[in-house]
Amino acid sequence: MEQQNREHILVCLSASPSNAHIIETAAKMAKAFDAHFTALYVSTPEATSMSTEDKDRLQRNIALSERLGATVTTVYGDDVSFQIGEFARLSRVTKVVLGRSNIKRRPFGNKPLTDRLTAIAPDIEIHIIPDHAAETKFTRAIGGLSRKILPDWKSILITIGILAVATGIGMLFAYLGISEASIVMVYVLSVLLTAVFTQNYLCGAVSAVASVLVYNVLFVEPRFSLRVTEAGTYVTFLVMLIASLVTSGLASRLQYTAKQSAQAAYRTRVLFDADRLLQQQTDCEELLATMAQQLVKLMDRDVVVYSVENMQAKVFRADGSDGKDFDADNAKRLLQSNERELEADGTLYRSVGIFDRVYGVVGVRMGDRPPESLEKSIFQSVVGECALAIDNIHSREEKEQVALKARQEQLRGNMLRAISHDLRTPLTSIAGNADCLLNNYGKLDDDTLKQLYSDIYDDAQWLYSLVENLLSVTRLDSHVELNFTCELADELIDEAIRHVHRRSNEYMIVKDVPYEPLLVKVDTKLILQVLVNLIDNALKYTPKGSKIVVSAQSTTDGIKFSVADNGNGIPKEDKEKVFEMFYTGNNAVADSRRSLGLGLALCRSIVAAHGGVLEVSDNCPHGAVFSFVLPQG
């Protein structure tokens, strides 16, 4: 609510010598009211004939408004009051600051600017600042009028050529007996074409007057003189002159509007492309390069970008570039100054960042052609979009890191809870059996002693398997590089079977490997851990007397290892869950010593580190098969 009620002050930009004083006054008002501050420049068709001095002064005024914290905006149109009023109304401006020279009554009784603004936006306050240089501006404008409106030689030749062609067509029409009205239309068309091809209003006006005179001399009786015998001819001349002047003026304005519309459409399309391309990138370096390429398209200037990580320059050249190098010291100076922009050595530098986070610096070569207000606004917009895209990437990475740490903390907590719960049973059993042996050793028969020793050994083996899994998980978590060696698949299976639980004598474990040797390139210790876990898992979750087949065979992708059992199998809904960490299932065959659920999750991680995938499938007619493929040695 506070933001909606905040004041918004608008100052109008111009090339007036006193406009700097008006901007400073508006900036003081914005600071006093703690208001939004906007500087608006209305570009009219007359702006194309602005002198170099006025253009330079306008650019200085724009730069001044930016330094004072204003948001510079450029709009295009013929009616200055309408453009200011509409912008103020749509942007919820509360106060407009004008110079006194802007409010003088226009010729032909037009209302002053303040009256027209009040009619368009009646709720806006208008503040008038005395313009002491208004008279100087008017005098200098009169002196420079001839320089602004006089056409160049090319426009003069085009005007003469079109008028000559129109006269030739008119003489042809007269020879063929075509009506004079058609000849008048030919001259009106010539005036319209003159306005289109010369881009100078004076040429159109001169063409209109010349067309009337030539038509009078060549096609009105008495010919070859300026005398007129019929009174109605004066009406024809007057209508012809007015129509020619109106069409010339309309053509000039339409041409200016079409040019500005084409430029705006092109820049809008490039801006949309820039936004789309920036959103597609996922790397900061690529984002900076994409931004530079779009700026070259938009501004047709050389662009350089620096990343704060290495400050290495990447230069993107425009067509017709002079190939001049950029000075990286200027970019470093901008970073050290904590400013947003720096102009040095004919280059405009701007930092790419949001708030106090800076990700790079972009520089645009200005040379002898300083950027216009619209160009500068587009430049700032593209840089802002790039900074926002980079900031989104960093924010996403930070969120991923936070989420990863949260998952790690959750896994760590689950592991500690599981360890504290599951170690209690075997440790209690070992301690109880050891206490029984210490206190009753001479009273126990051989069978009882053997059973106690066997229980202690089984519990110790279970603890050993648990510690091995925990160490393997820790090793994979720390991203230790794997130690690959070439091993025989037959020897790996034999070693794994020797390491399984002592209860294996109650099962039928079968090795199935071909006669020819099969070499695999693996980290031996980790793959042994996989095979031991898979065999031990089959022993744990199948009834006594079950058959377990450990096999290896050559395939087109590598060496395929499988551990198959003929137990009860795994339900379809549990086939993916069994690979989740800490998932133990609800198989009634397993003994009372609950597993941590690390085995299969660890096996899948180890196989993935070797470039394979651990999968589970059904073993016909019943049972489960765990298989994975390793690269050949």
Tokens of 239: 């209508």
Whether residue 250 sits in one domain with residue 203: yes
Whether residue 28 sits in one domain with residue 65: yes
Tell me, yes or no, whether 440 lies in a domain.
no
Tell me, yes or no, whether 72 lies in a domain.
yes
Tell me the residue range of the domain where 106 lies: 8-148
> Average pLDDT of 174-201?
77
Candidate from 72-76, 136-140, 216-220, 337-341 with smallest mean pLDDT: 136-140
**Run of H or E including 522:** strand 519-522
Tell me, yes or no, whether 253 lies in a domain.
yes
DSSP state at residue 572: G
Of 236 and 349, the one with more pLDDT: 349
Tell me, yes or no, whether 417 lies in a domain.
no
Among the candidates 148, 179, 206, a domain finishes at 148
Tell me, yes or no, whether 12 lies in a domain.
yes
Whether residue 160 sits in one domain with residue 252: yes
Cα–Cα distances (Å) from 594 to 278, 424, 466, 569, 598, in that order, read 52, 11, 11, 19, 11
Whether residue 172 sits in one domain with residue 97: no
Q: Which residue has the tokens 């794997």?
A: 482
The tens digit of pLDDT for each residue in 518-564 reads 899 888 888 887 888 888 888 888 888 888 999 999 988 889 999 99
Among the candidates 258, 291, 313, a domain finishes at 258
Among the candidates 381, 396, 411, a domain finishes at 396
Tell me, yes or no, whether 76 lies in a domain.
yes
> What residues contact 89, with CB distance under 8 A and at least 6 apart?
120, 121, 124
Tokens of 602: 């660890």
* CATH number of the domain enclosing 79: 3.40.50.620
Show the DSSP H helices in 177-231 as ranges: 180-198, 201-219
Whether residue 320 sits in one domain with residue 239: no
Q: How many CB atoms lie within 10 A of CB 244?
A: 27
* CATH number of the domain enclosing 286: 3.30.450.40
Q: Model-level pTM? A: 0.46
> Average pLDDT of 393-421?
74
Number of domains the chain contains? 4
Whether residue 175 sits in one domain with residue 244: yes
Tell me, what's the pLDDT at 262? 65
Whether residue 222 sits in one domain with residue 127: no
Nearest CA to 463 out of 471, 473, 451 is that of 471
Of 256 and 552, the one with more pLDDT: 552
The tens digit of pLDDT for each residue in 441-476 reads 777 788 888 888 888 887 787 777 667 666 665 655
Whether residue 126 sits in one domain with residue 164: no
Whether residue 233 sits in one domain with residue 306: no
Whether residue 128 sits in one domain with residue 168: no
Whether residue 144 sits in one domain with residue 156: no
The per-type count for the chain, helices as H runs and strands as E runs, is 18, 17
CB of 504 within 8 A of CB of 497?
Answer: yes
Q: How many CB atoms lie within 10 A of CB 486?
A: 11
DSSP string, 272-301: HHHHHHHHH--SHHHHHHHHHHHHHHHH-S
Tell me, yes or no, whether 573 lies in a domain.
yes
Whether residue 228 sits in one domain with residue 91: no
Q: How many CB atoms lie within 10 A of CB 370?
A: 17
Quick one: pLDDT band at residue 109, thresholds 50, 70, 90? very low
Tell me, yes or no, whether 163 lies in a domain.
yes
> What residues contact 552, with CB distance under 8 A and at least 6 apart?
489, 490, 492, 493, 512, 513, 514, 518, 559, 560, 561, 562
* CATH number of the domain enclosing 614: 3.30.565.10
